Amino acid sequence: MPGNGLLRTKTVEQSIKDTDEPGSRLRKSLSAWDLTVFGVAVVIGAGIFTLTARTAGDLTGPSVSLAFVLAAVACGLAALCYAEFASTVPVAGSAYTFSYATFGEFVAWIIGWDLVLEFAVGAAAVATGWSEYLRTVLSYLFGDDVRTSFDVGSVTVNWGALLLVAALAVLLAVGTKLSSRVSMVITGIKVAIVLFVIFFGITFVKAANYSPYVPPGETGAGAASTGVDQTVFSWLAGGTSSAFGVFGLLAGASLVFFAFIGFDVVATTAEETRNPKHAVPRGILGSLAIVTVLYVAVSFVVTGMVKYTDLATGDDGEHKTLATAFALNDVDWAANLISIGALAGLTTVVMVLMLGQIRVLFAMSRDGLLPRALSRTGEHGTPVRATILVGVLVAAAATFFPAGKLEEMVNVGTLFAFILVSAGVMVLRRTRPDLPRSFRVPALPVIGTLAIAACLWLMLNLTILTWLRFFVWMVLGIVVYFGYGRRNSLLGKHVPVP
């Protein structure tokens, strides 16, 4: 057991050995195609249906398509590092497991805590958005009086979000393969909707709507872009606002990064994959390539259909979506169809985010940093207790709390995880050159350094308030680690993990 205290590391061999222990063994049933479906299922969701229009209207103008390219470059660099790590250490837990093998237990815990911010908070926020789309779809069928929430005193209960999370928790407990099949069907529907947006929407494109491609900097009508809501880079550079102009473009790239979040979920399922050394890299890189092309195409078409100012957040706080662009072109039936596609799309986003969170908790509990009972698997080869816990937590958050503006909180945590994974690959290459690697990052020192720089750059273009909230979340995680995790760590107790 190399190292001691906060720097003690869990060897790659021990991590792989733990995957065969009775009682906490996950069923290996996934293929490269299943992983690609999972990746596309979670990435094509809230970002493409809601974030595209809002970012164009509030921050970037038509250059939102370039913002997606910038975000995709950062994700692509990090994805290469994830692919090597996941094929070398095919164990549940993603960045948490990778960090345990390279940086030690304390950093691994921080990353695990960080992933809660990405997966659980993200799932709750998207579930709340799903409920809003459900209300819209039901209103088409039964009239405008349909609601997916009700008030109990001063508390609003979102029964739509509760219904979704409960159903998905049962589905995930029954089996990951079944979840993949359901995800495949729904993903096919929403990809068809996205292709419809591109090929039908392009007939409404007007070249004049692309001018100016990068609007001059100003305080956007719908964007809170000054004070603590100003980006860190804009503040450091002496800018007065981070809406439109170069600062707006960079802020937009950091925001639409949320749309790509999820491809790293593929790495959390490595332990359940039949041939992880080949399937995981293909799943990660394949899903990222597919969604990048779709995102750039959609953003280009939507900003060509209407003037970007028509997509700005309204004075009443109402956000614009893809459907807005069609409604403004008097194609209401297409707007309704897109709303139905968004409902399907957000379903798989919530499911796969919950899957990722469950696998991270499973890995942390197997190491003793969380209660060991969470790592026990049931008759279907899934961690049922961890699934129930995640289902309850996500359901509670989505049912009783408004979604608010959570995208940036999720972004800062994910980018931090990407930085550590990119650095960890370089560390493991140096410390364990003997490990078999079916996938190797080309020109690793260069690619790894660029990945770190790109992610750090996007973090600097998030708001000051986001950084303050992230700091508070990390402090809370440190308290939990020293209060429970460090004292109960099996590695710290010199007990074989198992």
> In angstroms, rounded to a whole number, what is the distance separating the alpha carbons of residues 373 and 370?
9
Q: What is the pLDDT of residues 289-302, one digit of tens each?
A: 888 899 999 999 99
Q: How many CB atoms lie within 10 A of CB 405?
A: 13
Q: Is the pLDDT of residue 449 over 90?
A: yes
Higher pLDDT among residues 415 and 382, named by residue: 415
> In angstroms, rounded to a whole number, what is the distance separating the alpha carbons of residues 128 and 111?
25
Mean pLDDT of 356-364: 85
- Look at residues 48, 81, 24 and name the one whose alpha carbon lies nearest to residue 423: 81
Identity of residue 349: V
Mean pLDDT of 249-274: 74
Mean pLDDT of 443-447: 90
Which residue is listed with tokens 């969470």?
374
Q: How many CB atoms lie within 10 A of CB 253?
A: 27
Q: Is the pLDDT of residue 447 over 90?
A: yes
Task: Give the model's pLDDT for residue 1.
Answer: 47
Mean pLDDT is lowest, of 24-33, 41-50, 118-127, for: 24-33
Radius of gyration of the chain (CA): 22
Q: Is the pLDDT of residue 403 over 70?
A: no
Q: What is the pLDDT of residues 211-260, one digit of tens each?
A: 888 888 764 444 445 566 677 766 776 665 567 888 788 888 887 887 78
Q: Contact at 8 Å (CB) between 461 and 233?
A: yes
Q: Is the pLDDT of residue 143 over 60?
A: yes
Task: Give the model's pLDDT for residue 457.
Answer: 86
| DSSP per residue, 259-311 | GGTTTTHHHHTGGGBSSHHHHHHHHHHHHHHHHHHHHHHHHHHHHHHS-GGGG
Q: Is the pLDDT of residue 337 over 90?
A: no
Cis status of the peptide bond prior to 212, with omega within 30 of 0: yes
Task: Give the model's pLDDT for residue 228.
Answer: 65
Element (H, E) at 155: strand 155-157
Task: Give the model's pLDDT for residue 46.
Answer: 63
Mean pLDDT of 170-178: 71
Task: Give the model's pLDDT for residue 222.
Answer: 40
Q: What is the pLDDT of residues 86-107, one digit of tens each?
A: 777 766 666 787 788 788 888 8
Task: Give the model's pLDDT for residue 335.
Answer: 81
Is residue 342 very low, low, confident or very high in pLDDT (cuts 50, 70, 90)? confident
Which three-class secondary structure state does DSSP give residue 231? strand
- Name the DSSP letter for residue 319: P
Task: Give the model's pLDDT for residue 307.
Answer: 92
Element (H, E) at 150: strand 150-152
Alpha carbon of 166 to those of 170, 179, 355, 359: distances in Å? 6, 14, 13, 18
Higher pLDDT among residues 70 and 351, named by residue: 70
β-sheet bridge partners, residue 273: 30
Task: Give the model's pLDDT for residue 238.
Answer: 66
- Look at residues 131, 129, 68, 106 and name the one whose alpha carbon lies nearest to residue 420: 106
Specify burial of residue 317 (Cβ count, 10 A radius: 0-12, 13-18, 19+).
exposed
Specify burial of residue 382 (Cβ count, 10 A radius: 0-12, 13-18, 19+).
buried
Task: Give the model's pLDDT for residue 459.
Answer: 86
Query: Domains in the chain, ordered, with CATH?
Result: 5-488 (1.20.1740.10)
Average pLDDT for the chain: 79
> In angstroms, rounded to a whole number, what is the distance separating the alpha carbons of residues 316 and 318?
6
Higher pLDDT among residues 344 and 208, named by residue: 208
> In angstroms, rounded to a whole number, what is the distance separating the alpha carbons of residues 264 and 255?
17
> In angstroms, rounded to a whole number, what is the distance separating the alpha carbons of residues 441 and 70?
20
Q: Is the pLDDT of residue 195 over 50?
A: yes
Q: Is the pLDDT of residue 340 over 50?
A: yes
Task: Give the model's pLDDT for residue 4.
Answer: 53
> In angstroms, rounded to a whole number, what is the distance separating the alpha carbons of residues 474 and 445?
29
Q: Contact at 8 Å (CB) between 159 and 399?
A: yes
Q: What is the pLDDT of residues 53-98, one digit of tens each?
A: 888 888 888 999 999 999 888 888 888 888 887 777 766 666 787 7
Q: Contact at 8 Å (CB) between 56 and 248?
A: no
- Sign (positive or negative) of CA dihedral 168, 170, 173, 177: negative
Mean pLDDT of 271-288: 74
Q: Contact at 8 Å (CB) between 431 and 11?
A: no
Task: Give the model's pLDDT for residue 25.
Answer: 57
